[in-house]
A and B are shown apart, each in its own frame.
Chain A
């Protein structure tokens, strides 16, 4: 197997793109990544996406992408793992390059969520859960996370307000990201006052419904320096799985798939959590940020919230997370999120993260969570500059 590196990145702003459809979002992010890599063509395009069939009535996104990007008969198809679709597309691309079956791959994530009304989008997102035994009972995707948060608060004695810093920190970091959906600060008071969506998850615990696309170009690491002035090596790519439905998991708060994927990744990269300079985690909900920090070895069980309370998750803290706004402030266009996380990690590792640049960032981790935690994909990235 060959080592794989990222030699180009591209992204659209995350927003409600009323004037742009799914194909033009893919086009904008994809061509911008090719341009960044200074190449015109690739051997394959893998598209991470969850909802195009439900919302745009459009399947076969791979064919649509290469057709409209002018890439002719380049191999292309969609990869789906709910909200982890983006990282899944990156992993498929990584496997293609590592195996030698392709040399240059474009891994693209795209989601267009705002063409339908709120209740239709909510119903489409609920398809990430068990359709017959979770969604069929009227449970929303938000409510699944709420069940976890309620139990977490019960077991460890945290109050809702204790989670505020996850949202406050994400928004503070979003201020300096020109591609973030929310480039504005929020206060802990605003967090506490936000209306409940599904108790105890309030509006400011949750990431927004939005549109966006992001892309990366992959190449064999041995050629990366010749192709790019600042390549980033993929030190690890690892997947963890857990039962699809929350009710089928032995220990729902353990986020077992995150533990598996993070620890596999540490082993592959031969690093420990404390070696990482930052962690782009999947803060779709504040509870998920806490559970992910615990399962990935940054905090003990029940103590993830303490990291936020102590300010350890800020850019100056011990474990900086959501450095460009995270899912909460940059936004969570579900199937694109896994690629946005990697694009932002590459910016940090290239030293191009602007006002949010971490000093001497060398090693970063991204983690993308599918559904309520059934598919979790972790990547560890290292700057080669």
Chain B
């Protein structure tokens, strides 16, 4: 798959700062941004970064990767339920696949997601690691 530079650039707020939205009507935290609150259906365009703390809701270790991700196999992907409520799909990092458990506390870190060949862009974004400290 070719690099989509503009698309990667548009997503910088989400990928680097886990930037979502806060609903001004019902207070719900929203990620990814969708401008309409999934809880109350009202407009919600106020940007709000999320804490990046959460726990593993479910996970899978991938042995057959899609094109672009093969150099990294095996890697573990998870649904992470954030403290504020939204659930995020992301890779886990700094942990062996056998040590991952449902309910494990994790925190967001910035890591390389993939590269687009020798001369292409390197895409960075969020991954989650076992929470350090409390």
Chain A residues within CB distance 8 Å of chain B: 118-120, 122-123, 126, 130, 132-140, 142-143, 146-148, 150-151, 154, 195-201, 243, 245-248, 252
Contacts and interface: CB of A to CB of B under 8 A. Distances in A.
A150 B58 contact: yes
* Interface hub of B70, B77, B91 (most chain A Cβ within 10 A): B77
A132 B91 CA distance: 14
Nearest to B34: A248
B65 interface: yes
Given A120-B67, A123-B66, A123-B67, A139 B61 contact: no
Given A132-B11, A137-B91, A138-B72, A146 B66 contact: no
Given A132-B32, A195-B63, A196-B63, A137 B113 contact: yes
B90 A140 contact: no
Contacts of A197: 62-64
A180 to B, nearest CB: 23
A109 B65 CA distance: 27
A132 B125 CA distance: 11
B109 to A, nearest CB: 14
Given A140-B66, A198-B64, A247-B86, 18 more contacts: A119-B65, A119-B67, A122-B66, A126-B66, A132-B7, A133-B89, A134-B89, A137-B77, A138-B69, A139-B77, A154-B102, A196-B63, A197-B62, A198-B60, A199-B61, A245-B89, A246-B79, A246-B89
B91 A138 contact: yes
A358 B114 CA distance: 51
Given A133-B89, A137-B91, A247-B89, A147 B64 contact: no
B27 interface: no
B64 A138 contact: no
A interface SS class? helix
A139 B62 contact: yes
Contact of B57 (A126, A151, A245, A248): A151
Contacts of B66: 119, 122-123, 126, 135, 138, 140
Contacts of B60: 143, 146-147, 150, 198-201
B63 A147 contact: no
B59 interface: yes
B62 A138 contact: yes
Interface in B49-84: 57-70, 72, 75, 77-79
